[in-house]
Chains A and B, each alone.
Chain A
């Protein structure tokens, strides 16, 4: 089902979605765009290339409260935080970011114990994917083509959106998406020409150029396993790294977290908070032992986790080539170059 709306009316669409539930959409903030819970439909702004932070926070918030309790009260008075999620619309996620949700699903839902918070948030959400603007060149950091992701790849979205001149075309990808599109009375029916434009756009998206190399998951996994003990290699690629957490926090597929208790005046919350394998104390044990004291060990862990361990454990590379880690790295470390180097090494 294809629908359309004029981009100038985007705030009306936003308002319609807000009537149905919670809307998360790109908003222009001081330093760039980010997905934000929309309070005022006028905030929604589709004039962006990609957001600073990935939209993973929609399902994996930086801070997720688990339990509320009072320190002075009996243990059974503690209460589990109920999510009670309204329908949530993630509006305008780029194809590479949408891909990341599937990768995270494997970890949080499809293997071992199910993470109930991720699952509930995922189930409550309707994803409006949004194709990159094929008229404009990719940014130098991006390399999603390498991971086989197109600039207009609808996979993973419930509804996929493409810009056509002053219009926004919305095509349903899943039944869930179709249902929503039907309900949104504000939308106009897409015409045959729109349908054609849409289909061609999707096709053209596959050709869209980002940085690209031939990367076979098995090959890179093997390569990285072989390289593991090559301290010189890891020292060299990590020599600039300052062990901050930017790359992991902006990354759509990084899921490490910490569980902590915070209390204030006897009222406590147990919650999870994002953590980063790049932090020096990430693996610090209570005994004082830390298996990853060196910068190179931590960067090695991150690269391996994405391109080797994840492949071994779950069968897919845990990277979507969005380029955020490179773009926001204070010292310009480029994961793409490291993978390139690794393949050559």
Chain B
């Protein structure tokens, strides 16, 4: 069986989640690997959510928020940008493949961008193969 990665998506309610809905409304097909958690703002994302997702066996994590300047809460994503950048550096220095964590700004009108990003990211994760590093040992035995 070919490797079908599990990818966690975390999307802000106002832009990326709505954009993802738009991708659906316009029937843009994309790989089924991304499972989206809805939060109100990308700034809600606690870095530990991302660490936890990798521990639980996520092969990749994709975070989506409004474009900087377009945040529904004015400045949330500007904080998120910094916090997530640091998260990325931490994962990288720990030795995780940098390509497994990605932040994209996808607006409510960018259904096509959502589909494209998912397509691209899924392909990238497939390339990288299963994520084994942070994954909890017990789960690895199971696999």
Contacts and interface: CB of A to CB of B under 8 A. Distances in A.
B79 to A, nearest CB: 29
A264 B140 CA distance: 13
A271 to B, nearest CB: 13
Nearest to B136: A264
Interface of B: 56, 136, 138-139
Interface of A: 264
A264 B139 CA distance: 9
Nearest to A267: B138
Contacts of B56: 264
Contacts of B139: 264
Contacts of A264: 56, 136, 138-139
A290 B136 CA distance: 34
Contacts of B136: 264
A264 B138 CA distance: 10
A264 B56 CA distance: 9
A63 to B, nearest CB: 13
B135 to A, nearest CB: 11
Contacts of B138: 264
Nearest to B57: A265
B100 to A, nearest CB: 21
A264 B136 CA distance: 10
A300 to B, nearest CB: 35
4 contacts: A264-B56, A264-B136, A264-B138, A264-B139
A-B CB proximity, top 4 nearest: A264-B136, A264-B138, A264-B139, A264-B56
A68 to B, nearest CB: 12
B128 to A, nearest CB: 23
A51 B94 CA distance: 29
B115 to A, nearest CB: 30
A267 to B, nearest CB: 8
A221 B136 CA distance: 47
B122 to A, nearest CB: 23
A148 B24 CA distance: 78
A248 to B, nearest CB: 27
B53 to A, nearest CB: 13
Nearest to A269: B138
B58 to A, nearest CB: 13
A133 to B, nearest CB: 39
